A and B are shown apart, each in its own frame.
Chain A
Amino acid sequence: MSIWTKIVQRREFAIIAVLIVLVTTFSLINPAFLRPNNIFAILRGGAFIGVMAVGVAWILLSGTFDLSTGSTAGMAAIITSTLIVKMGVPIIPSIVAGLLSGTLVGIANYNLVFKANIPAFLATIGTMFIAKGLGLYISKGWEVYPLPEVVGIFGRAQPLGVSWHFWIFVALIIISQLLLSLTVWGLEVKATGSNREIARLTEVNINKVSISVYIICGTLSALAGILLMARLITGNATTGTGWELQVITAVAIGGVSLFGYDGSFIGVFLGILAIQVIQNGLVVIGLSPYLNTIVVGTILLFIAMIDWRRRASLNFERNV
């Protein structure tokens, strides 16, 4: 196998190739695209859905699905901010309560999908509505505002030019990649995602794997909502609205299979980065807003096509 073939068959090849082309094109059209402040803004902008994407990637790798993530983020932001602002609870316990609310959603999702045997798609749509409804019920639709200044200081801080949210995202990517690549549990997640029945027969505790990925996903979704709350110094039930699909898109174009087993967290990082680069770049070069979404869709399809060809060629070689 040639070096070129090896490179092309890397799961991150498509996304890296397209990122190089996009960054080059945008910076040639408007050099301002590569200014440090703009690069930092791109990195900061993607951190929130990035944190959520780490959880969603674990879920997808284990062969299941979660659509409740965006609503969980909104609910956690409302619970945390309401505890702080309306009830005078100290910040740390409030954040813990917010995170726990996400954990509870994860446990509920696991029970609905694997104990009550409701298809993951339907079960997590159900919890999506419940989580969103709880956020609305608690906030009565109002923004919970303003949060204490210390929250804003954290939310607006720019360590090394970016933000704490971004560094938390990077830390989660590194930890998750190490867990996936180097631990037995990581292998078990992939095995469960490949084929649950075979994994069970090879003594993988598939229930333990499934509940752990749902807990991770719920908790990280809540964390994403709380981080955005800190950034905007506001709790809002609309936080996370529409993030579900953005996250799944980013994770999928990052090379994580929607059918389990295949994927990496480096790919997740690149997928989030690609979405941000496309959105930001099209505005910086001043593309007409009437063309903007067509171009976004075309680029995403292009990435998907390259990745699809890579997977097809890998399958062909395996079959040969």
Chain B
Amino acid sequence: MKKILLGLVLLIFVLSACVSPTPTEPPAKPTKAPKAEVVEEVKEEGAFRKAQNGRPFRFAQFMQQHPVMKLMSEGFLQACEDFDVLCVIEGFDGDDDSLVVSSLERMTAEDTSGATIGLWYPARFEAAKIAIEQGVPVVGVHAPIDRENVPTLLAWSAPDVAGFSGAAGKALAEKVACQGPIAVSQTDLNEMQNEVQAVFREKLLEECPDIEILEMAVMGLDLPVSISLAVGVFQAHPDITGAFSSDGNGGIYWSEGAREAGLDPNDVAIIGMDYTRPNLDLVASGDVWMLVGQPLYEENYFAVALLVSNLMGLPIPYENHMPAPLITLENIDQFYAINDAAEARGE
């Protein structure tokens, strides 16, 4: 029995060591790293690291295996490299509020000179307060946060949700020339995606008052099921002209769903979300018309810049909107570069 167990453990470790990929090329610099003018006035080499006094910045990275979170990590790590500061990623699996709370409690128990965390659920506000009360400066990323919700929050850096949702609505209105119906979908009914969809719908109806927008389809995270549901939507409405999803899998399930329903994905104007490599490839192949490029990399890069500024006693703005460009074939290359860099780092 012991031999069998020992053999199993050894085999599993040998197997994992064998297949663990080792990056061989240095990371390529993203072409569009945001400027951090707020810290440029400090020229002394090593000044930021010295000010940290051995206390790193930390990124509370829930859902650590999620491709979107990996791009956020890359922004954090690249900024740490560029500003020459100590940084640690506090990664954990899952998206549970209790895990976020314990992660922030762990941060406060250790030496920390600043933290960044995605605060797109109101339940996370209380978690952030735990760290702040213990003297850890926290920058929220990915969602704007009203001052009154977390009064002691240092700052936030996030996309202009209303801006990109409205821009997507306007772009789709032009693309389909106000001819519907339009399918809409989200992963689940969370606050941020609800807002994205509400603004998108409002803008689309403003541009095209008579256009038919279908009932929201909640697709979940299981892709085979999402694709099957997309096929169902296309079967029920074979004349769909466009589809908009506020989640990162939308490009995949709408294009695959169209294909499986016997349609050509190129005939449907599909707008997906997030510049992960599989999504970019769908744009490159023409299966997806457009992606909303949420600033996954940029917002965390800028959050580190804000923490550095704070560390040096410089004033920092509370609200920091990052641009969320609409990605088509014309501007796709720079987003591939971000993926290249993140994959090369292999973190």
Chain A residues in the interface with B (C-beta under 8 A): 30, 32-33, 35, 37-38, 40-42, 44-49, 79, 82-83, 86-87, 97, 101, 104, 107-108, 111, 115-116, 130, 132, 134-143, 145-146, 158, 228, 231-232, 234, 237-238, 241-243, 246, 276, 279-281, 283-290, 292
**10 A-B pairs (CB sep. < 8 Å):** A33-B232, A37-B231, A38-B235, A45-B225, A104-B12, A115-B1, A145-B277, A228-B224, A238-B66, A289-B216
Interface stretch among B13-21, B127-135, B145-153?
B13-21
One of B3-11, B101-109, B288-296, B321-329 contacting the partner: B3-11
Establish whether residues B227 and A137, one from each chain, have CB atoms under 8 Å apart when the complex forms.
Answer: no
Report B199-241 CB contacts with A as 1/0, cut-off 8 Å.
0000000000000001111100111110111011111111000
Majority DSSP secondary structure for residues of B touching A: helix
User: Nearest chain-A residue to B91 (Cβ)?
Assistant: A141
> Which of the residues A35, A280, A286 comes within 8 Å of B228, measured between beta carbons?
A280
A32-B236, A232-B223 given; A276·B19 CB < 8 A: no
Number of A-B contacts defined by CB within 8 Å: 157
Q: Is the CB of A108 within 8 A of B8?
A: yes
Q: CB distance B65 to A237 under 8 Å?
A: yes
Which A residues touch B70, using CB under 8 A? 141-142
Q: Contacts A140-B347, A279-B229, A283-B229 known; A242 to B221 CB distance under 8 Å?
A: yes
**Which chain A residue lies CB-closest to B19?**
A82
Of the residues A108, A134, A287, A290, contact of B189 by C-beta under 8 Å? A290
Give the distance to chain A from B236, nearest Cβ to Cβ, in Å.
4
We find that the number of chain B residues with CB closer than 8 angstroms to chain A is 55
Closest chain B residue to A94, Cβ basis:
B19
Name the one of B18, B215, B262 contacting A289, with C-beta atoms under 8 angstroms: B215
Q: Does B310 contact A (CB under 8 A)?
A: no
Query: Could you say which of A35, A140, A242, A283 has the most chain B C-beta atoms within 10 Å of its C-beta?
Result: A283
Closest chain B residue, CB of each to CB of A130: B12
Query: Which residue from A82, A116, A279, A289 sits with its C-beta under 8 Å from B225?
Result: A279
Using Cβ atoms and an 8 Å threshold, which residues of chain A touch B262? 37
The answer to whether B67 has its CB under 8 Å from any CB of chain A is yes
**Smallest CB separation, B180 vs chain A (Å):** 14
Chain A contact surface mostly: helix
Cross-chain contact of A38 among B21, B67, B221, B232 (Cβ < 8 A): B232
User: Smallest distance from the beta carbon of B2 to chain A beta carbons, Å?
Assistant: 9
Min distance, Cβ A2 to any Cβ of chain B, angstroms: 39
Contacts of B257 in A (CB 8 A): 41
**Least CB distance, B287 to chain A, in whole angstroms:** 12
Rounded to whole Å, the gap between the CB of B331 and the closest CB of chain A is 22
Nearest CB of chain A from residue B288's CB, rounded to whole Å:
15
Contact assessment for B19 and A104 in the assembled complex, using a CB-CB cutoff below 8 Å:
no
**B235→A37 contact, CB < 8 A:** yes
Closest CB in chain B relative to A54 CB, distance in Å: 16
Closest to B257 in A: A41
Q: Which 9 A-B pairs have the closest CB atoms?
A: A45-B228, A41-B231, A38-B235, A86-B21, A289-B218, A141-B65, A32-B236, A284-B232, A32-B235
